[in-house]
Amino acid sequence: MAPANDNRPRLMTPKEASEATTFSRTMLTLMAEAGKFPQPVLLGERRIAFVRAEVEAWIDGRIAARSAA
């Protein structure tokens, strides 16, 4: 778990989420719509971001599922 004072923004852009997961931005949108990825936060009429902690928890869950299988 990252320290509370890591100075990273609480939100991540779709590009950052894409880089962290290796999925395309389009795939992340489709997965979020299907309930298989954290929902983005609407920041403006044409701007979204993902909550970093939720994306990191999702990644951790995929890693944990690997060892449970």
The answer to whether 19 and 27 have CB atoms below 8 angstroms apart is: no
Residue 4 phi/psi, 5° resolution? -65, -20
Can you give the pLDDT at residue 68?
A: 72
For Cα atoms 33, 37, 43, give the angle at the middle one, nearest 5 degrees: 70
* Domain span holding position 31: 11-68
Q: Give the whole-angstrom CA distance, residue 3 versus residue 31.
A: 29
Q: Is residue 53 part of a domain?
A: yes
In the chain, the number of structural domains is: 1
Q: Is residue 2 part of a domain?
A: no
Report the interhelical angle of 25-33 vs 14-21 (nearest 10°). Answer: 90
Residue 59, pLDDT > 60, answer yes
Can you give the pLDDT at residue 2?
A: 55
pLDDT in tens, 5-34: 678 899 999 999 999 999 999 999 999 999
Average pLDDT for 53-61: 97
Q: Give the whole-angstrom CA distance, residue 18 versus residue 49.
A: 11
Q: Is residue 6 part of a domain?
A: no
